[in-house]
């Protein structure tokens, strides 16, 4: 038995619909610029392919109150499809990529937009804008075999009952198999990896007291409040 100098932290995990067992989170990857309309609303180059950044695993949390974070005056929501992997490898071909998927969930990539813009302007890494406590709310996972045709599912987010984001996963520039395949060219993906697949247009700021309701057809909805 391995002896540690102090007890290791608990493994971050995500609930699984219809099961008492939870999905252990190994790594968290996020896809940037995967919907054309979102690229346009932020004024980015449409010719650039999507890219990957990461959040720390313990920043994935279930729904509920999320504290308004420090160091921002422009706190944004980004609703996304989350893909959870049960296996992995390197250089996975798109036609075999879906074999690695355990299930899907609704996620919200919370973002300190002012910090992101400031870091971009200085040509510095903008991890501070994406990776902070409770910045990755995630709903319960639905196993892939029970999720239906997720590739064309409707995706939406409302704030205090008013719709902000409304699109379809069919509008993703990169499909789920392509995302997994491309990521596996960069790193060895594995069981427990979680991928936030990008957000459609309509992102915007939230303030303390706001309630966010995120949905993807066929999956468990996700609700959070900004505390």
Q: Return the structure tokens found at 114.
A: 């002012």
Report the C-alpha gap between 155 and 82 in whole angstroms.
12
What domains are defined for the chain?
Answer: 13-226 (3.90.850.10)
User: Which of 216, 222, 94, 221 lies closest to 150, judged by CA?
Assistant: 216
For position 37, what pLDDT does the model report?
67
For position 49, what pLDDT does the model report?
65
For position 33, what pLDDT does the model report?
77
For position 140, what pLDDT does the model report?
98
**SS3 of residue 102 by DSSP:** strand
Q: Specify the DSSP class assigned to residue 45.
A: -
pLDDT tens for the chain, residues 1 to 227: 899 999 999 999 999 999 999 999 999 999 987 887 666 766 666 556 668 999 999 999 998 999 999 999 999 999 999 999 999 999 999 999 999 999 999 999 999 999 999 999 999 999 999 999 999 999 999 999 999 889 999 999 999 999 999 999 999 989 999 999 999 999 999 999 999 999 999 999 999 999 999 999 999 999 999 99
Report the C-alpha gap between 70 and 148 in whole angstroms.
39
Q: Is 151 exposed, middle or buried (CB count within 10 Å of its CB: 0-12, 13-18, 19+)?
A: middle
Longest dimension (CA), the chain: 53
For position 50, what pLDDT does the model report?
66
Name the CA dihedral angle for 143, 139, 203, 181, rounded to a multiple of 10 degrees: -30
How far is residue 55 from each of residues 130, 150, 205, 227, measured CA to CA in Å? Answer: 7, 24, 20, 21
- What pTM value is reported for the model? 0.94
Is residue 208 within 8 Å of residue 48, measured between CB atoms? no
* Half-sphere exposure of residue 204: CA atoms within 13 angstroms, side-chain side: 15
For position 183, what pLDDT does the model report?
95
How far is residue 64 from each of residues 58, 105, 163, measured CA to CA in Å? Answer: 16, 16, 19
Tokens 């996963």: give the residue: 169
User: Which of 177, 192, 203, 172 lies closest to 60, judged by CA?
Assistant: 192
């Amino acid at each position: 038995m391995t002896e540690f100098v102090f007890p290791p932290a608990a493994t971050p995990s995500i609930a699984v619909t219809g099961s008492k067992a939870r999905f252990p989170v190994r790594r968290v990857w996020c896809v940037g610029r995967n919907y054309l309309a979102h690229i346009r609303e932020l004024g980015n180059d449409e010719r650039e392919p999507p890219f990957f950044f990461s959040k720390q695993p313990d920043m994935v949390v279930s729904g509920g109150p999320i504290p308004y974070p420090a160091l921002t005056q422009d706190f944004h929501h980004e609703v996304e499809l989350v893909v959870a992997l049960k296996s992995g490898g390197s250089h996975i071909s798109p036609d075999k990529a879906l074999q690695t998927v355990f299930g899907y969930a609704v996620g919200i990539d919370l973002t300190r937009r002012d910090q992101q813009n400031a870091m971009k302007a200085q040509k510095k890494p903008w991890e501070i804008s994406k990776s902070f406590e409770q910045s990755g709310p995630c709903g319960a996972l639905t196993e892939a075999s029970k999720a239906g045709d997720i590739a064309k599912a409707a995706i939406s987010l409302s704030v205090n009952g008013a719709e902000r984001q409304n699109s379809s996963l069919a509008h993703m520039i990169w499909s789920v198999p392509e995302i997994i395949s491309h990521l596996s060219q960069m790193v060895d993906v594995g069981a427990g990896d979680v991928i936030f697949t990008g957000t459609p247009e309509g992102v915007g700021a939230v303030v303390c007291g706001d309630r966010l309701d995120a949905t993807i057809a066929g999956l468990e909805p996700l609700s959070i409040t900004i505390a």
